[in-house]
């Protein structure tokens, strides 16, 4: 069902030789700009140009609540989600101040916050429901809600790209969403709940163990309800049983970004789970992803390895919100600057090492 909406082709290789030549003939030793060279190459390939441009970025933070919070899997109560959404809108959150620092427009999208939010110029009102259901007891959402959540992300990506955005960055907010992401991860790549579960917002070891138990119970409940093992679930079934509205919206935005040949920046653990889900829908979606950082959430390295990803930063972040994505943005800019403006050996009259 889901895969029919997205037709994402693998990136063509025709420009690769010209990009490699341009990068390798800059006035520097081969490979000496390290990861910046990989970013420049990837952006050039995504945009199919020797002069990639990320001068019109946008940060979109998707927010929602989760019924599984009733099982005591988070240090913070659910009312923190709408409070933090207001903090984003008022400019007081980490992602808000970093976006202001780097002159990146910020939009916050309500896809399932358990509160009525007043209209605001920066707020996208796309509420699917007032939180998902407690997936330890029943399916997280209906098939219609899955479609609405994914469409929210598609519509947000379209709106940004139609307005000229050439680099999308995604973040999330939702108390309990590391639990949801860990549960989705366990189903998507067949790891144990213990291996996919981390501290989230700061749980102690007892809290982490309890969260892992809730996740395992939820997976078993979903297998019994569907009559299928988790490894055989379709993307649709997995989303219905275990999804979070903001995670599915991020996945929808990633899928649509890729469909429209627009690069996007993957933030931390939760955002990477959204990409993993998106990849189950359309395998080529990760060709358009730039990985911002490796977070301090213990399972994130395992997730990054699924994509053979070499993230730009490793700062022990575990905040979410898109904070790692916006912090990586200046380096993504620098990758374009060196490719577009740095002299070649020939243009500068410098003798090459050859």
Q: Nearest-CA neighbor of 211 among 135, 139, 142, 138?
A: 135
Among 156, 216, 321, 346, the active-site one is 321
Q: Identify the H or E element spanning 326.
A: helix 323-341
Neighbours of 141 (CB within 10 A): 27
Q: Nearest-CA neighbor of 242 among 139, 144, 143?
A: 139
DSSP codes of every residue in 201-238: TT--HHHHHHHHHHHHHHHHHHHHHHTS-GGG--HHHH
Dig out the tokens for 78 from the structure.
């659910």
321 counts as catalytic: yes
Quick one: how far is CA 343 from the chain centroid? Answer: 34
Cβ-contact 329, 298 below 8 angstroms: no
Classify residue 81 as exposed, middle or buried by CB count within 10 Å of its CB (0-12, 13-18, 19+).
buried
Neighbours of 17 (CB within 10 A): 9
Helices marked H in 48-173: 80-89, 94-101, 143-162
Helix or strand or coil: residue 188? Answer: helix
Neighbours of 131 (CB within 10 A): 27
User: Torsions phi, psi of 106, nearest 5?
Assistant: -115, 135
Quick one: how far is CA 211 from the chain centroid? Answer: 22
Q: What is the distance between the alpha carbons of residues 215 and 136, in angstroms, rounded to a whole number?
A: 7
Residues with a known catalytic role: 321
């Amino acid at each position: 069902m889901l895969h029919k909406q997205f037709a994402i082709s693998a990136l063509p290789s025709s420009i690769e030789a010209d990009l490699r030549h341009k990068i390798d003939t800059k006035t520097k030793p081969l490979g000496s700009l390290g990861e910046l060279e990989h970013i420049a190459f990837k952006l050039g390939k995504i945009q199919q140009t020797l002069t990639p441009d990320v001068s019109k970025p946008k940060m979109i933070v998707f927010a929602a609540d989760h019924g599984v919070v009733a099982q005591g899997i988070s240090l913070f109560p659910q009312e923190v989600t709408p409070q933090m959404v207001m903090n984003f809108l008022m400019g007081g959150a980490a992602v808000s101040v970093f976006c202001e620092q780097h002159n990146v427009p910020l939009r916050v999208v309500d896809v399932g916050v358990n509160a009525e939010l007043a209209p605001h110029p920066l707020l996208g009102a796309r509420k699917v429901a007032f939180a998902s259901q407690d997936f330890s007891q029943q399916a997280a959402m209906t098939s219609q809600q899955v479609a609405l959540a994914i469409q929210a992300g598609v519509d947000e990506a379209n709106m940004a790209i139609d307005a000229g955005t050439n680099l999308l960055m995604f973040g999330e907010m939702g108390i309990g969403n590391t639990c949801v992401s860990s549960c989705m991860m366990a189903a998507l790549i067949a790891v144990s709940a213990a291996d996919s579960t981390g501290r989230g917002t700061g749980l102690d070891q007892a809290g982490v163990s309890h969260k892992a138990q809730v996740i395992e119970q939820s997976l078993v409940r979903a297998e019994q309800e569907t009559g299928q093992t988790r490894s055989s679930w379709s993307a649709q079934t997995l989303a219905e049983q275990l999804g979070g509205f903001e995670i599915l919206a991020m996945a929808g935005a990633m899928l649509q970004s890729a469909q429209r040949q627009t690069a996007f920046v993957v933030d931390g653990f939760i955002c990477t789970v959204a990409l993993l889900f998106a990849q189950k829908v359309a395998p080529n979606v990760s060709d358009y992803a730039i990985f911002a950082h490796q977070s301090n959430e213990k399972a994130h390295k395992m997730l990054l390895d699924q994509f053979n990803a070499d993230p730009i930063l490793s700062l022990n972040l575990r905040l979410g919100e898109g904070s790692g994505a916006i912090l990586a943005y200046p380096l993504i800019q620098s990758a374009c600057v060196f490719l577009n403006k740095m002299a070649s050996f020939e243009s500068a009259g410098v003798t090459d090492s050859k």
